Amino acid sequence: MSEDEHLTASVVGASGFAGGELCRLLTGHPDFDLVQATSREYENKTLGYVHPNLRGVDLRFSSPEDLDSVDVLFASTPHGVSMEHIDTFRDAAGTVVDLSADFRLNDAADYDEWYDGHTAPEHIADAVYALPELGREKLEGADLVASGGCNATATMLALKPLVDSGVITPDDRVVADLKVGSSEGGAGGGAASSHPERSGVVRPYAPTGHRHEAEIQQELGLSIAFTVHAVDMTRGAAATCHAFPSERVTTGDLWGAYREAYDDEPFVRLVAGGGGVYRYPEPKAVAGTNYAEVGFELDPSNGRVVAFSAIDNVMKGAAGQAVHAANVALGLDETAGLDFQGLHPVGAP
């Protein structure tokens, strides 16, 4: 692709939080032209009508029933929608990036266990999991990309170095505790997401059986104990993972494992007990960015490894990950359009 050529892109489901972030990223991307953003509810309204930060974008929502032919289609729809329309999406675009859970799992039987079945299992084998840190080589040239779940993303980034280095194995006990922001509930929200109900809470909402466990088991080979809490935060997912290796490890072993995994990763920052106020990964520090912060601490009294990760769930856990994966799939500079470093100081993310 020459310097003056752009790829056309559309966002289906553009009125949601992740859809709005996709529109923001694509309008600032050096290699994409956003030509269509769909919404049934807001058809013919400007993007800025729903997303006030996009008031300067000269584009209106259109009907998802009339899709433009584009190079890349980003589907930011509720779970179950993409599988119903995947043939239409793939007819409309050379590359489809789906942000729902519809193509994350490799086996249709897993959808029977973790979701409500699957209506287009013939497409599952074509899909490639989107998180580049887990294997960007599989993404190169992919034409159906399945963006990972936000809580799974945070957890896997915390644990991947321990798995890759053999510090933990599938036989070792791992417990993951997630604290997540209200934007995970989506723009539709609901009673539990209203401000009077959400403000000030630390509320367990998925003590067991969270669907993102399926991705962790698939991608890392770990069966973990996983609990998610809703907290008084707009953006962010913070994972605190407790791993109990069968063999004793040292702090030096852990530094080696994390540096080996992430020294060359453009969007992962290692934050492990240094100086200053922000000594461990913190969602506030990555709000609005595609960065993940990861860190660790060793408990020498019992051999426990505490692994941390912090992401913006709407960015690294959704729209940013999707654009990053699209960059890799299409052979673009993988950091293109994703260089925002965040803000400091800033209020609640």
Q: Which residues are catalytic?
A: 150
Q: For residue 101, say whether it is annotated as part of any ligand binding site.
A: no
Q: By the 8 A CB rule, do 293 and 246 touch?
A: no
CA–CA separation, 260 and 233 (whole Å): 32
Q: For residue 15, say whether it is annotated as part of any ligand binding site.
A: yes
Integer angstrom CA distances of residue 182 from 236, 278, 281:
8, 22, 19
What single DSSP character describes residue 68?
A: P
**Within 13 Å and on the Cβ side, how many CA atoms surround 217?**
16
Q: For residue 75, say whether it is annotated as part of any ligand binding site.
A: no
Q: Which residues contact 103 (CB under 8 A, 6 or more apart)?
A: 82, 83, 86, 123, 124, 127, 144, 146
Q: By the 8 A CB rule, do 74 and 58 touch?
A: no
Both tokens assigned to 194: 């209203």
CA–CA separation, 318 and 26 (whole Å): 14
How many whole angstroms from its chain centre is CA 104? Answer: 12
Q: By the 8 A CB rule, do 316 and 180 touch?
A: no
CA–CA separation, 56 and 300 (whole Å): 54
Backbone angles phi, psi at 293, to 5 degrees: -105, 135
CA–CA separation, 175 and 188 (whole Å): 30
CA–CA separation, 329 and 142 (whole Å): 5
Q: Which residues contact 252 (CB under 8 A, 6 or more apart)?
A: none
Both tokens assigned to 318: 């959704």
Helices (H), 134-271: 136-139, 150-164, 195-198, 213-220, 251-262
Q: For residue 18, say whether it is annotated as part of any ligand binding site.
A: yes
Query: Binding-site residues for NADP(+), please?
Result: 15-18, 313
Query: Binding-site residues, please?
Result: 15-18, 313
